[in-house]
Amino acid sequence: MAKSPKPPSPEKRKYPRAPISIRIQYQQPQKGIKEGFTAIMGGGGLFIDTVSPLPIGTPVSLEFGLPGQVGSVRVDGQVAWVRSDFDPKGFSPGMAIQFRKINETDREKIKQFVMRVLLGQSESHP
């Protein structure tokens, strides 16, 4: 099996991210909808815990709600890297999704939610 690229280092990240567990639906083009849970989320992407990650480069459509927000966020993304097994630090297998197409209103909702989580405010706080 090919070795997965290393996750990007924090100094290369454009947006803050936080440990957030939210139910998410994702779908490859022309394939069925799958459900999972996020582990980490930021304005540029998220990580989905799954024992069956999709191949790197796979396009995916995502849909999820954010606590305290009305409506769903819809994003087109791409699998940026995968973790096939549990690693020694206890991180779960899964896949990192980089957002490729997202409207700025949805990106702003995500950024505001992440900041509330990082500041320790209630997830349901508007």
Q: Does 1 score more than 80 pLDDT?
A: no
pLDDT level of residue 15 (50, 70, 90 thresholds):
confident
Listed in sequence order, the residues at least 6 apart from 116 whose beta carbon sits closer than 8 Å to its beta carbon are 68, 122, 123, 125
The superfamily (CATH) of domain 15-118 is predicted glycosyltransferase like domains (2.40.10.220)
pLDDT level of residue 105 (50, 70, 90 thresholds):
very high
pLDDT tens string 28-65: 888 889 999 999 999 999 999 998 899 999 999 999 99
For the chain, domain boundaries: 15-118
Q: DSSP string spanning 75-114? A: EEEEEEEEE-S--TT-PPPEEEEEEEE--HHHHHHHHHHH
pLDDT level of residue 91 (50, 70, 90 thresholds):
confident
Q: Does 2 score more than 50 pLDDT?
A: no
Q: Left, alpha or beta for 105 (phi > 0: left; psi -120 to 50: alpha)? A: alpha
Listed in sequence order, the residues at least 6 apart from 124 whose beta carbon sits closer than 8 Å to its beta carbon are 67, 68
Q: For position 71, what pLDDT does the model report?
A: 86
Higher pLDDT: 95 or 125? It is 95
CA dist 80 and 99 (Å) reads 9
Bridge partners for 20 per DSSP: none
CA dist 104 and 101 (Å) reads 10
